Amino acid sequence: MTDWLYKIKETNIEESIGEIISSSHLDFKFQVYNPKRSPEYSSIVIVLADNILINGMVIGIKMDPKSSLSQEIPSPLKRTREQIEKDYADIKDKLIMTCKAITIGYYENGKFYQKRPRQIPWIHDLVYQPSPQYIRDFHIVNNHYRLNYLPLVYNSLSREEKASFSFFMDTFIGYISQFFEKEEMAKIIKSIQESLILNGLEYLVENLNEIFINL
């Protein structure tokens, strides 16, 4: 099996998509270097946190003007993204994209864990986008398909976010299904069901089923 810590450490630093700007045991925020390489909502990102890889699920993406001190509201430019890029070459430096991710697991000593790590990411730790194989390895433990971190995500959300959790699940299932075959997805779904039930979230199972059916 791939030594993912080694592999990430060996990866060209240019491959990182951002770095941590704040973190806690529950979640972390990172600034994206290039909005064009921003992770998708509900996707998984990796933080290289010294000797472990911390996996987070992006639950929020935000873009702001950089000059926040002046409380300046960006002036309308009436151009397409391409035109802006052409006409304002430094625009990238004036915009900040930040993402919020919830910690959903980690990789340590050659093993994946779908639970909170004992350490938190440090500010400036680099954030990477995982490869499809990384995603698969994260979800296949001892040949068993496992995805039991959704309750962790759910319980970290605000009341308003919880209320619309089925929409979140819809996006997430769409995302995760890119990495698995149909039959594998059925197993993943079963694992999600199991974890929801075990965490008293059985009322989300029917929504999940419907999402899966419509996939």
Partner 1 sequence: MSEKNEIGQVIGASLSEGILVQLNKSSYVEEISSNSLVTINGDKRKYLGLIANISLIKGSQHASKLANIESRFLNERVKDITKSTKELFNNYGVFSSAIHVIPLSQTTKYSTEDVDTIPSYLSKVFPSTKEDIEIFYGKVDNKINWGIGYVKYPLKEIEHQNLIPINIDILVRGSFGIFGKAGAGKTMLGNIIASLIILGNKTKSFEKEVKLLIFDMHSEYGLKVKDQHGRDYEDGVGRIFKNEFLILSPDHILAEEYGLEKFEIKVGNISEEDIINVKEVFNLSDAFIDYLFDFKAIYNNIFKEKAKNYNIELKNPWIYYLFDIFISEEHKKISEKTEEQSKEKIREKISQGALYALNSGRSKLRYLSKVDFISKNPGTDSVDKIVNELFDGNKSVIVSMGRYGDDVRVYTFIANIISMRIWNEAIRRIMKGEELKYKIIIFLEEAHKFLSPTEYYKNPFGNIARELRKRGILLCVIDQRPSQIADDVMAMLWNNFVFSLTEPKDISCVTKGLKFSSLFEPVISNLKRREALVFGEMVKIPAVITIADYKEMVKTFKRIYENQKSLVDIPGY
Positions that interact with partner 1 (CB under 8 A): 186, 189-190, 193-194, 197-198, 202-203, 205-206, 209-210, 212-213
Q: Least CB distance from residue 193 to partner 1, whole Å?
A: 5
Cβ nearer to partner 1, comparing 96 with 197: 197
Task: Provide the residue count of the chain.
Answer: 215
Spatial separation of the C-alpha atoms in residues 116 and 21, rounded to whole Å: 19
Smallest gap from Cβ 215 to partner 1, in A, equals 9
**CB of 142 vs partner 1, minimal distance in Å:** 20
Q: Any idea what DSSP says for residue 130? A: P
In angstroms, rounded to a whole number, what is the distance separating the alpha carbons of residues 161 and 27? 15
Q: How far is the CB of 198 from partner 1 (least distance, A)?
A: 6
Tell me how far apart the alpha carbons of residues 206 and 67 are, in angstroms, rounded to a whole number.
Answer: 46
Nearer residue to partner 1 within complex by CB, 2 or 209 = 209
Q: How far apart are CA 56 and CA 158, in angstroms?
A: 17
Half-sphere exposure of 209 (CA within 13 A, CB side): 7
Q: Which is nearer to partner 1, 131 or 207 (CB)?
A: 207
61/205 with CB nearer partner 1: 205
